[in-house]
Each structure stands twice: as structure tokens, then as C-alpha cells.
Structure 1
Amino acid sequence: MKNRAWSVILVVLALLLLASASFYSVRMTQSAIILQFGKAVRVVEAPGLYLKWPLVQDVVFVDKRLTSYSTQPEPFLTAEKKPVLIDFFAEWRVVNPLVFYTRLHNTSTAQSRIGDIVRSALRGEVGKMSLESVIQGRRQEIINPVLAEANLRLQPLGVRLVDVRILQVGLPPEVLRAVYKRMEAERTQEANDYRSRGAADAAKIRANAEKEKTEIMANAYRQEEEMKGQGDAEAASIYGAAYGKNPAFFSFYRSLEAYRHGLGDKDVLVLNPNSPFFKYFLHSLGPADQ
């Protein structure tokens, strides 16, 4: 009785193992490749529960979702043979699971091949551009041909690139130092140009100011002389008119001015007492002079 019970249990377990080995499920994110004696016979794309021959057929699942590939910064040479550091990432998916499994077998192998192909295409495009164009960020001009060329080479592998992006563009330390030195020299030359132009403009402004100053001084001197001449003419006219009204008083007034200016505290004059200069000291005014 015990042997019979154990036999039933073993049969049930065998049936369960056979059933589990006969059924498989496919998710929405997967494609299933049916292998018969190690050879791919068909591909199942639709999700669901399926039946296979146990011990004869095996199932390999291929992920249909987007897969990312990224790198660390790597050196690339520009058209001038100058190194530039670029790191990029790519997104890809399997479009033909049977070809993918036949040619690449798994995701790790696919990642390696995709990296090599994208890197080669990127190297070719960067080699056509100048260092300035790469640094200035004209990345779309690089990405479009890289994406087209990489997809052309990946098509026989059952893989399609969805997107490629350049994350960062940099320079090696030695090139960066050389660039900084060149930028410093350019800025120094530019500053010297500004200084020289400023000095020339300052000299021109000073020359114009000096010219204007000379003209203003000349005009002021001319006006001064004209005003002095007019004043002297008016003074002579006034003196003449005054002399005509009373010549004796005018002569006396001018003599007083001469005494005031000529006889100072420290002045010594040696004159003949009968000199006309002392006439008003020697003679009083007569009735005709009053």
C-alpha cells in the first residue's frame, strides 16, 4: 500500500515537472525564440502562455525594451589632428530577435558591438570637423550622420539605434593648458590694441583741446587789445575835451599826478630848480590860471 502511494506521488510529480517543462509564458517586454535541439525554429512576439515540447525544445527570451549604452570620456582626433575628449550614450532595441540571437546571442555581446560601431562612426565624423566646431557645440551635425551610419551597420545584426547623444566635450589637460595660454595671449593683444587706440584718441583730444585753448586765448587777447585801444581812444578824447575847456587847470592836474607818481619816498631826482617840472612850486597861479 505504501509503495503504491509513493508511486502515485512520483507519477504526479513527474506529471507536474512535465507540465512545467511543457509551458512557458511571454511577457509584453519580451520576445521568445524557440530552440529545437539548439536550433532556432520560430519566434513568439505576442504575450501569453504557450506550449512546447519538453526535453526537445528550449526557450530563449530577448528583451524588446530600450537598452542604454554609455562610455567614459575617450580621446578623438579632429581634422587638425588635435585630441578632444568625448563621452556619449546610445539607446537601442532589438528589432529582429531571431537575427539578434543568431548573430549576437546576448545583450553583453550586443553592447560591445554597438559601442565599437558607434565609436567608429563618431571617430570618422569628428575627424572631419575642426576643434573649434566640436567645442562650440555643433553636435547635431555630428550625431545625424553617426546615427545613420551606425544603423546601416547594425541592421544585419537585428538591432536598431534609437538615439545617440554626446554628453560632454572636453580637452586633455595639456591641450587645455595650451588653449588657455593662447586665449591669454589673444586677450593681452586685444588689451594692448585697446590701450594703443585709447592713447591715440587721448593724444588727439589733447591736441584739439590745446588748439581750442590757443584760439580762445588769441581771441581773448585780440578783444583785450581792441578794448584797450578803445579805452585809450576814449581817454584821449576825454583828456582833449578837458584840456580844451580849461588848459591851465588841466596842466595843473597833470603836474599833480606827475608829482604823486614821480616823488616817492625812495626816489631821488636831480633837477634844476628852474625846471618846468617845479613851476607850480615856484610860481602861484595868476588870475588867468584860476
Structure 2
Amino acid sequence: MPINIPKELPAREALKGEKIFVMDEDRARTQDIRPLNIIILNLMPEKERTELQLLRLLGNTPLQVNISFLRMTTHESKNVSKSHLDTFYLTFADIKNRRFDGMIITGAPIEHLEFEDVNYWNELTNIMEWSKTNVTSCLHICWGAQAALYYHYRIGKYALPKKLFGVFKHRITDPTIELVRGFEDEFNAPHSRYTAVPMEEIEQDPRLILLSSSEEAEAFIIMSKDAKHIMITGHLEYDATTLAEEYTRDLRKGLDTEIPKNYFPDNDADEQPLNTWRSHTHLLFSNWLNYYVYQQTPYQWD
């Protein structure tokens, strides 16, 4: 089934080229089914790239999904045009009286800041508070996961000795949980961050389940027991080349960034990296949409 996105969204042609079924608003209105309404709060600087990565995953399910994009009004995005934001993005004022079946809050390259020092923290906390009653299930990615753990569960973050950068093996703690249904016992996932969340506090919190962790990357998939919040500390949505491009950018900035671990063939940065996490990424997004959004959301909100 398709994802319903605006006709002029730049990601549309790329998705069609990948044979992902997209539908415009006019055709969607003729479908006599109840589509899922998903709102994506895109905090990443390269918004169009993140749009494509997430839409590719949301379009790989048997469900019709209506997508809306949300932006912050208390922060000026420098890597995307104002016309793109004005055309395709809503503000919290536009949606605060609406309800959504699912929400995705992306990462953001601001982990060096304390949460309260982020210029849009108050706006973000208003959105997260609103989501408690207006969204069935929220999926939080990387810094978005850290923000959710801090706001909803008062679990903070801490600085790592050096950047956690590369592709790491993770293990599942409970394969019977529907979010990880179909996962191998051990699977790969990419990370790119300077901070981490304390695994011991997550394990000790009776409201949370640690579903997956890694010896090097530590806590990875965390879910609240009521399935309201799912926190992913890495970047399963990344393309095969995303870490390579980030590595090149870091070097150009003069940063002392080590080559991403377990990523380039033969650890050679001139080799084309392979995507070794794609199948589990699709599984996670499909399982989230099916078990925690579609099967839990009311057919009609009150």
C-alpha cells in the first residue's frame, strides 16, 4: 500500500524510482479505507535527505500512510530553503488540535548542549507533552531518543571519551516482543554520536524495556512498557553511504575523527561501504507501524 505525500515533495521522484508506491492527496481521497496519519518532527539539518530515508521505510508496509512534516518555529534551519519549509512543513500551532496515529522525532546534531540549552527545548517539550494525549505511539531516533528519555523518564545522557562512529553488532534481549519480531539474535546498526544514555538506569526503570544493546554502543532499542515511546539510540534509517559522507565532512572540518568502525570493506575508506542493516531497519519500521500504531490506534479519535 502507498504512502500519501504532497505531489511536489522532492523525495517523490526518488521514491518512485525505487518502485515505492506513492500516492498524491487527490487519489488518496478516493480510497475507502482508514489510512494511518503519521507526523514527522524533522530536526535534522539536511531535511530533504532525512525525508527520503524515512519515507522509504514508511512506504514499505501494506498500510496506507498519510505523512505530515513538522518543524520548529523557535529555530532557523540553515540547510534547507525557506520555500521548502513553507510548502511542506507544518508548525505546532497548525497541529495542536489534531490527533495522529504515530509520530517520529528525529535526531539532531546538538548533543554537545545540555537539553535546556537547546534553543527550541521549550517548544519540543510542549510537543512531547502534547503527544501523550494526541499520538498513539512515538518513535524517537538518536538525539530524539535521548530527549525523550530525559523528558519522559528523567534519564540523562553523558559524554563519551570519543565519538561512537561506525556499524556495531547488537543483540536482542527478548525476541517475543513484537517490535523486534523477525530480528536475528544478532544484527548490525550504525551509530554516530558523542554521548550515550546510562544503560543501568534504563534497566532499573520499571516503565522501560531494554530490547537491544551492544558491547560497544550499549543501549540501543528501548521501549516503554505501554509502547507509547520507542527510543532508538542509533541511525537504522541511514543509507549505506551516510557514515562515509559524514566522515569526509569531519575530515574537511579538521576534526580528529577516526574511520568508522566495521564499515568500509577491509577498513579502506576508498572502498564502497555496504548496507548491512537494511533488512532489520525495514522490520523495525514495519513492526512499529503494524503492532504499535495500526493495531492500537482507534478507528476514530474521540
Which of structures 1 and 2 has the larger relative contact order (alpha carbons within 8 angstroms, sep 6+)?
2
Higher-Rg structure is 1
Q: TM-score scaled to structure 1, two decimals?
A: 0.20
- Structure 2 length normalisation: TM-score? 0.19
Higher share in strand: 2
